[in-house]
Structure 1
Amino acid sequence: MTTVESGTGAGPLLRGWRERRRISQLELALRAGSSARHISFIETGRSRPSAEMILRLAEHLDVPVRERNALLLAAGYAPRYAETSLDDPAMGALREGMERLLQGYEPYPAVVVDGTYTVLAANRGIAMLLEGLPEHLLTPPLNAMRITLHPEGLSSRIRNLREWRGHLLTQMEREIALARSQPLRELYDEVAAYPLPEIPEIPEITKIPEITKITETGAGPEDREDPTPYPYFALPLQIEHNSRVLSFVSSISTFNTPLDVTVAELAIETFLPADPATAKYLQSLTP
């Protein structure tokens, strides 16, 4: 067998992914239907794995699609996964589906981003939240993390900024650990260094009024509901808009078993009203 120089070829890359996932050679071998000896030979370069074996190991190591192509190239094989632009006619059905999803979610905010949080599409709910931001933050390509955490961006409007900022940075740290993306690492270093803006106290009169109860006959309001804080079921994004504080919880969706690098890195984030007052206010803006 030909010995591959240390640090080159697919073997060391596979070993790096295995160690990152904290899986032993034996455990990986059992998952992939191989032997620990064979895995060792692959990692040290004593054995050249087939393209199918590389993809099988990559699947069990949860290697991102983009990095699976890199593994194949390192082993001397052609990439298996295409990277198709969203503007390509072949992506027409995907674009149409995402547009319908975004529009159907209105008046609530929803956005589509790629692997480095570049905004690819957004609905009018997102546009509403971005009203009044400086032009330099809204010049394409827009970046969701920059817009959110920049001192001149949404951060000055986010009432629980420290908690929400911590959530976003932790989310990016997890993605960097999983994908080993240098562009994402550079973005993280940039936004983590942004200073925290001074956030003034919000006068009580600017908060969303509590929803009043209506009698069954519709004759008029009864006593106001209990003014205690709403029991959020997840960390909310609390953001000021037009002298009101809106509360959202976010959900991120990705595509199952992607066969294209572009599709694999797409994420659709939707923002669900976290309390009745926010939902009522957004619905009042709908024509």
Structure 2
Amino acid sequence: MNSSTQMMQQSEQELGDLLRYWRRQRGKSQLDLSLDTGVSQRHISFVESGRSVPSRELLLSLAKTLDVPLREQNVLLLASGYAPVYLESTWDAPEMAVVTRVIDLMLRQHEPHPAIVMDRYWNVLKTNEASARFFGSFVNLSERPKPRNLLDLMFDPDGIRPFIENWDEVALGLLQRVYREAVGHVTDARTIELLGHLRKYPGVEELSVPRKSEAPVLPITFVRGSERISYFSMISTVGLPQDITAQELRIESMFPVE
């Protein structure tokens, strides 16, 4: 067996492992996926075992049915020997202009309350002026290298954590949000690494589930001297994204609790 044949078989096996991974993440059997897509269970079995290489169209159909994120769809395509379909544009790329214009409008319209644009790993990409003023009133943001990570800022004892009145509840809620808001509802290696970093902060491993509140949301109460300010958040995402960057953007708008 020559080296090119070995590489092809290895690639097919990696594809099978990846497809099986996503199918199981979605709690579907091969029969379920067959019924959802109209592809025979036998064919799906052959793809997962490396005995058959799917066409690009079939692979994308399976991926969409399994709600595989765009970034991971590219990985599936590469494992099959196909070129990636979805771009990962930079924030200032021309093709992102329509998205960034709308985001800028949202940030401006949300003044005088904070609004933040983040990537899938909670790195802050952009904020409105109110956000910079608000968070900057607690810590010196210029001392923190960019991109600043919002979770790191909230968990770090040298960050905003000392100013959060209900920090234990908030911290636990934020950890739950990481899992809930993960793209594709799956925690990838970088997300797991981020969670591991947060758990190294004092008191995080000892967090316990609080008693259930009757309130519809968990507010974050910031305390500065005698002043108390409570906010809750609304999260916005791009509908029907066709670009990896666009899919992974999240806009967090903070609203005061009256």
- Normalising by the smaller structure, the TM-score range is 0.7 to 0.9
Q: Find out whether 1:240 has 2:223 as its counterpart.
A: yes
The answer to whether residue 199 in structure 2 is matched with residue 192 in structure 1 is: yes
User: What letter matches 1:112 in structure 2?
Assistant: V
1:147 aligned partner: 153
Letter in 2 for 1:94: V
Q: Which residue of 2 aligns with 1:255?
A: 238
Query: For residues 26-175 of structure 1, what are the structure 2 equivalents within 5 Å?
Result: 26-130=31-135, 131-135=137-141, 138-174=144-180, 175=182
CA distance in 1, matches of 2:16, 2:58: 12
Q: Which runs of 5+ in 2 are unaligned?
A: 205-213
Superposed displacement of residue 6, structure 1: 8.9
Confirm or deny: 8 A CA contact 2:11 2:81 kept in the other structure: no
Q: Which amino acid aligns with 1:173?
A: Y
Change in Cα spacing, 1:8 to 1:41, as seen in structure 2 (3 Å) is closer
Q: Are 1:129 and 1:241, in contact at CA under 8 Å, matched by a contact in 2? A: no
Residue in structure 2 matched with residue 278 of structure 1 by the alignment: none
Q: Give the TM-score, by structure 1 length.
A: 0.78
Distance of 1:91 and 1:6 partners within structure 2: 33
Structure 1 stretches of 5 or more lacking a match? 198-230, 276-287
Q: Could you tell me which amino acid in structure 1 is paired with residue 240 of structure 2?
A: T
Q: Secondary structure at the match of 2:13?
A: coil
Letter in 1 for 2:219: P
Amino acid at match of 2:115: A
Identical-pair percentage: 38
CA distance in 1, matches of 2:113, 2:157: 24
Give the SS at the match of 1:252. strand
Question: Based on CA coordinates, which of the two structures has the bigger radius of gyration?
Answer: 1
1:184 is displaced (CA, Å) by: 1.8
Q: Which amino acid aligns with 1:124?
A: E
Equivalent pair of 1:25/1:36 in contact (CA under 8 Å): yes
Q: 1 CA distance for matches of 2:36 and 2:171?
A: 38
Provide closer, same or farther for how the CA distance between residues 147 and 7 of structure 1 changes in structure 2, counting only shifts above 3 A: farther
Does structure 2 conserve the Cα–Cα contact (< 8 Å) formed by 1:236 and 1:274?
yes
In structure 2, do the counterparts of structure 1 residues 65 and 24 end up closer, same or farther at CA, with 3 Å as the change threshold? same
Shift in Å at residue 7 of structure 1? 8.0
- Contact 1:63–1:179 at 8 Å: present in 2 too? no
Whether the 8 Å contact between 2:114 and 2:254 is mirrored in structure 1 is yes
- Consecutive aligned runs of 4 or more in structure 1 exceeding 6 Å deviation: none
What is the distance in 1 between the residues matched to 2:35 and 2:143?
50
Cα deviation code 1:102-123 (max 9, x no counterpart): 1101111110000111111111
With over 3 angstroms needed to count, the CA separation of the structure-2 counterparts of 1:59 and 1:138, relative to structure 1, is: same
Superposition RMSD in Å: 2.2
Distance 1:86 1:135, change over 3 A: closer
Q: How far apart are the structure 1 equivalents of 2:194 and 2:143?
A: 15
Instruction: Give the partner amino acid of 2:196.
Output: D
Normalising by structure 2, we get a TM-score of 0.86
Q: Give the whole-Å Cα distance in 1 for the aligned partners of 2:100 and 2:178.
A: 25
CA drift at 1:180: 3.9
**Structure 1 129/264 Cα, relative in aligned 2: closer, same or farther at 3 Å?**
same
Q: Count the aligned residue pairs.
A: 241
Indicate whether 1:8 and 2:13 are aligned.
Answer: yes
Q: Distance in 2 between matches of 1:115 and 1:24?
A: 29
Distance 1:90 1:48 in 2: 33
